[in-house]
Structure 1
Amino acid sequence: MAQIDAAQVKELREKTGAGMMDCKKALTEAEGNVEEAVKILRKKGLAAAGKKAGRIASEGLVYASVEGSTAILVEVNSETDFVAQTDEFKALVAGIADIIRAANPADVETLSTLAWPGDAEGHNVAQYISSKIAKIGENIAIRRFMKFDAASAVLSSYVHGNGKIGVVVEVKFDNAEAKIAAEGLAKDVAMHVAAAEPRFLHRDEVTSKDLDTEKEVAREQAIKSGKPEAVVEKIVAGKMEKYYAETVLLEQPYIRDDKMTVQKVVDQRAKEAGAKFAVTRFTRFKLGEGIEKKANDFVAEVMAQASGN
């Protein structure tokens, strides 16, 4: 068996853009012949993956799944919505969610090192995604995920707009006979979270930095409008209540009846079910939020491809 050294791996990576482990395997199979290794990688669809991996992926899917006492929410990005809506991409995202459920990785980096179940090439998640990048022709990236494991609680998920927004909500209950009612509440709250975009569950979760910023803005606005100093603080207090109503889930007006807050809806459903309900946590992912979208420059892209970059 030919001895494979770091220089050969580096050369092959530069020629193909494939991952390090894929390059090592190809070189071993080719008995150290770099050109033969290039052919092997091309046949496997891995040779172009690395070239595409630097491109901005801001489309994709937010995927949610609830099975029993476990909920998964994951965002996987692609470059175009066209690719994101294909069955192949959807299957990829669902497969990633299944791995998260089974292995409970701590973060995306750890997730990337886990084996992809049933893959004939023995790829891990990162390598499997690289093979898809080469085949599909777009960069693909796991951006983030979360996992809820519920105890004495129900979980519900909601996905809006073909994977543009995904939500998971947990509702605790104290009466087994009220489980169905708790599930209905969790479903309705999940839809509310998708639409109303709360940032916090309770007002005591609002950070001091956020509070100070909002108070400062409200105070400056009141002073500039010429309000007397004696009423400025009252105006600030009123503005803060409005801020809580906009950002705190349990204090938001319920989307289906804005005369009630979400907390009042929770209390009402609990009373009807003869139980105690509590919304204990939620997570909301909006596709691509915070990702800088690069404007397409078709001429520059063609020129780059023509020059081999």
Structure 2
Amino acid sequence: MAVTAAQVKELRDITGAGMLDCKKALEQTDGNIDAAVTYLREKGIAKAAKKADRIAAEGLCNVIVDGNVAVIYELNSETDFVAKNEKFLSLLDNLGQIILASGAESTEAALQVVNNGKSVETLLAEATATIGEKITLRRVQRVVKEEAQVFGAYKHMGGRIATLSLLNGGNDAVAKDIAMHVAAQKPQYLDQSQISADFIAKERDVLVHQAIEENSKEAKPKPQNILEKMVEGRLNKQLKDICLVNQPFVKNPDETVEQYVKNNKAVVVSFIRLEVGEGIEKKETDFAKEVMEQVRA
């Protein structure tokens, strides 16, 4: 029988399983919702859905380069312990190869990639059931370079941080140096041309108020023109601190990143930096409270 979108949605709401898995389960059970739930449980997929409300903020990042193509991505688990598990490490590498070969350019596209009859979404659900923790894929990015360009890839702390740099000119060693610098110094932008006017205006406003507050406490307050110069000086320093090309090069702070690559006949085109769990609000667990609640139950 034909499976309707409404049936798929209903089964997805009940089990939390992926759309493709729900559709297949319904097809296998002639549209019987209860039987489809059992089917998913037997496959370990509905079991995985029970973990859907957990927060996966640990894990590892990875970067893979193959010729002119690179992918950089993050695979999350609930605990750092599981991130060291051989099954997790094998999944991390396997997913990277699947994503690289697929041409997927985003997390959403990567989740729908099918390999050996199974979608990446299904592989993650199965891994969740097998490993016993919620496993999620996030922040997948694909970069394609020109023949004359150079990739630099670097992983820090086994993949807690992964970076990818792209240079015009230079060589593999220079590109990797930039990737290492990005991992260490955490730049937010390539250069100041990428910073929005709104961001600069807001930062200037904050610095103006700080300067006025400081000046009000001075025994001999500075004149307005001096305050304005002070604010602009602080703003310029702040903008340089967050731009890759303006930062002091980590291996030689006497020169900037821009000077370092220029001396090596290169120009930085772009960079990507992923750090495990950034942007995820981790759940704080009060174990003592949990124990007391169980005692009272």
Pick the TM interval, shorter chain.
Answer: 0.7 to 0.9
Contact 1:19–1:50 under 8 Å retained in 2: no
**Aligned counterpart, 1:168:** 164
* TM-score, with length taken from structure 1: 0.82
* Cα gap change, 1:246 to 1:141, in 2 (>3 Å): same
**Aligned counterpart, 1:236:** 231
Gaps of 5+ in 1: 174-180, 271-276
Match of 2:127 among 120, 129, 132: 132
* Cα gap change, 1:228 to 1:14, in 2 (>3 Å): closer
- 1:245 offset after TM fit, Å? 2.6
Aligned-pair RMSD on alpha carbons?
2.8
Contact 1:18–1:48 under 8 Å retained in 2: no
Match of 2:257 among 252, 258, 262: 262
- Partner Cα separation in structure 2 for residue 13 and residue 280 of structure 1: 43
**Aligned counterpart, 2:279:** 290
Whether 1:156 aligns to 2:152 is yes
Name the SS for the 2:189 alignment partner. coil
* Cα gap change, 1:6 to 1:300, in 2 (>3 Å): farther
Whether 1:196 aligns to 2:185 is yes
- Partner Cα separation in structure 2 for residue 87 and residue 127 of structure 1: 19
- 1:267 offset after TM fit, Å? 1.9
**Aligned counterpart, 1:250:** 245
Q: Which amino acid aligns with 1:155?
A: F
Contact 2:104–2:142 under 8 Å retained in 1: no
- Partner Cα separation in structure 2 for residue 215 and residue 15 of structure 1: 51
- Partner Cα separation in structure 1 for residue 250 and residue 135 of structure 2: 35
- 1:44 offset after TM fit, Å? 2.4
Q: Which amino acid aligns with 2:281?
A: E
Deviations 1:244-301 (A, max 9, x none): 331111110111111111111112222xxxxxx1111101111111110011255659
Aligned residues: 287
Contact 2:105–2:140 under 8 Å retained in 1: no
**Aligned counterpart, 2:198:** 209
Percent identity between the two aligned chains: 39
- Partner Cα separation in structure 2 for residue 208 and residue 292 of structure 1: 29
Q: Which amino acid aligns with 1:94?
A: D
Gaps of 5+ in 2: 216-221
* TM-score, with length taken from structure 2: 0.85
Q: Which amino acid aligns with 2:270?
A: R
Q: Which amino acid aligns with 2:255?
A: M
